[in-house]
Amino acid sequence: MSFEATLDFARRADAADLLRDFRQRFEMPRAPDGTELLYFGGHSLGPLPRAARAAVNDELDDWARLAVLGHEGARRPWIPYHENVTAGLQHLTGARASEVIAMNSLTVNIHMMLASFYRPEGTRTKVLIEAGAFSSDRHAVASQIAWHGLDPDRELLELAPEPGEHLIAQSAIERLLETSGSEIALVLWPGVQFRTGQAFDIGRITRAAHRAGCLVGFDLAHSIGNTPLQLHDDDVDFAVWCSYKYLNSGPGAIGGAFIHERHVNTRPRLAGWWGHEIATRFAMKPGFRAEAGAAGWAVSNPPVLATAPLIASLDLFQEARIERLRAKSVRLTGYLEFLLDRLAPDVQIISPRDPAARGCQLSFRIPAPGRGAKVFAWLCAHGVACDWREPDVIRAAPVPLYNSFEDVFRFAERLGEALRVLA
Ligand SMILES: *Cc1c(COP(=O)(O)O)cnc(C)c1O
């Protein structure tokens, strides 16, 4: 990739970008003075797709007009409402239609999937996660272990990077599975790690886990809508995600899950009426008969107002296509990396340097003690939205659906200025 550290180059790259008009389909966040922010926070909460307003308003109008009759009579009937997102989720996850379901929220879905897939037995009792996992994932796993009457200090394995490193080598995961796999019941791994932005090879991890006789699930909070996925062909047992990060579906949006079709009739589950087969659901009889596929894992009727924005957002992804977004993303993040190396040489990028081993996010630190926090505060006060992770990491995500090469140039320029002002 050849880049230049000039505004002119960035503008030419934008002019040549076939996806550039998708930015107009979003309401981009603004500073209190009304100017548009340089928004690099899409890894945390995506901006509002304009069509999401209409989608939510349609549901409010149908609620007002129909109330209970909306279950069958709304323009998008509420009973099968989750079906509106099946095609979009299939496109992003590489699943069969019967393997995906929008439901609950992410941590709840971790618990639901662990109820089905974490079945400690005999000497195979441990769960493997990455050291420094997202707190909620760790809380969920540790509490599940304890709920089975086992000791999380013994049963929770956390694989750390080599001393002094930030990233976990793919080969280290494989080695651990080879040596200790017989004690591991379940591997729960991130598709993209939230702090470092490291993207893992989901197929490779799945094969290594299966060779060792373990089940394997992925938390795709930072993967879905960021990197293309092929969960069915990769033979992943299950996966979970939220929809408010790269899927731009708003705070508290509905989450989702993938369950490989070979498990759908065999795994135990925590059941509710919305997973009961539709034909007899409303007979309200005691015996549970699961709806086919992942839909049989639903427990409650879906939060329509928290799902409507996802319908609008997935339409954008189906129009843009995840493969084309990824191709732009590799260049956009490559450009940010190129500019940071030139305009902000004091920062240390901790995300992988190999584009294939990262998503769109770059994480970086400023080694001098205390300086990173000051630089971050300066950026916030100067129209940049990115974020800070203790103890010293700044995360910035150029998102191909709405960020431009000019955004990336201005971000790097402003970061360079912050470093000069706060030298
Ligand atoms: C964002 C995120 C969460 C958030 O969980 P919620 O249940 O949606 O609040 C959990 N885990 C990971 C890895 C995340 O990135």
CATH number for the domain formed by residue range(s) 7-36+322-421: 3.90.1150.10
Q: How far does residue 249's CA lie from ligand 1's centre (Å)?
A: 14
Q: How far does residue 340's CA lie from ligand 1's centre (Å)?
A: 28
The number of the ligand 1 atom at minimal distance from the alpha carbon of 134 is 13
Q: How far does residue 271's CA lie from ligand 1's centre (Å)?
A: 23
Residues carrying CATH 3.40.640.10, the chain: 57-318
Q: Residues 277-306: what's their mean pLDDT?
A: 96
Residue 3 scores a pLDDT above 80: yes
What percentage of the chain carries pLDDT values higher than 90? Answer: 96
Q: Residues 242-270: what's their mean pLDDT?
A: 96
pLDDT tens figures, 366-398: 988 899 999 999 999 999 999 999 889 999 999
Q: What is the mean pLDDT of the chain?
A: 97
Strand partners, 358: 198
pLDDT tens figures, 393-421: 999 999 999 999 999 999 999 999 999 99
Nearest to 393 by CA among 193, 258, 232, 241: 193
Q: Residues 235-253: what's their mean pLDDT?
A: 98
Of 106, 194, 387, the residue with max ligand 1 atoms within 8 A of its CB, to mutate for a pocket test, comes to 106
The number of the ligand 1 atom at minimal distance from the alpha carbon of 133 is 13
- pLDDT for 234 equals 98
SS3 73: helix
The number of the ligand 1 atom at minimal distance from the alpha carbon of 242 is 8
Residues carrying CATH 3.90.1150.10, the chain: 7-36+322-421
Burial 402-418 (b: 16+ CB within 10 A, else e): bbbbebbbbbbbbbbeb
Rounded CA gap, 152 and 150, in Å? 6
Q: Residues 27-36: what's their mean pLDDT?
A: 93
Residue 193 scores a pLDDT above 80: yes
Residue 257 scores a pLDDT above 90: yes
pLDDT tens figures, 321-358: 999 999 999 999 999 999 999 999 889 999 999 999 99
Number of other residues whose CB lies within 10 A of the CB of residue 106: 24
Q: Residues 115-131: what's their mean pLDDT?
A: 98
How much is the pTM? 0.97
Residue 265 scores a pLDDT above 90: no
Q: How far does residue 409's CA lie from ligand 1's centre (Å)?
A: 30
Nearest to 257 by CA among 102, 95, 141: 102
Rounded CA gap, 346 and 120, in Å? 48
Question: How sure is the predictor about 231, in pLDDT bands with cuts at 50, 70 and 90?
Answer: very high
Question: How sure is the predictor about 264, in pLDDT bands with cuts at 50, 70 and 90?
Answer: confident
Q: Which residues line ligand 1 (CB under 6 A)?
A: 105-107, 134, 136-137, 190, 194, 219, 221-222, 242
Q: What is the rounded end-to-end Cα distance, in angstroms, of the chain?
A: 31
- pLDDT for 43 equals 98
Check if CATH label 2.140.10.30 holds for domain 57-318: no
Contact 386, 40 (CB under 8 A): yes
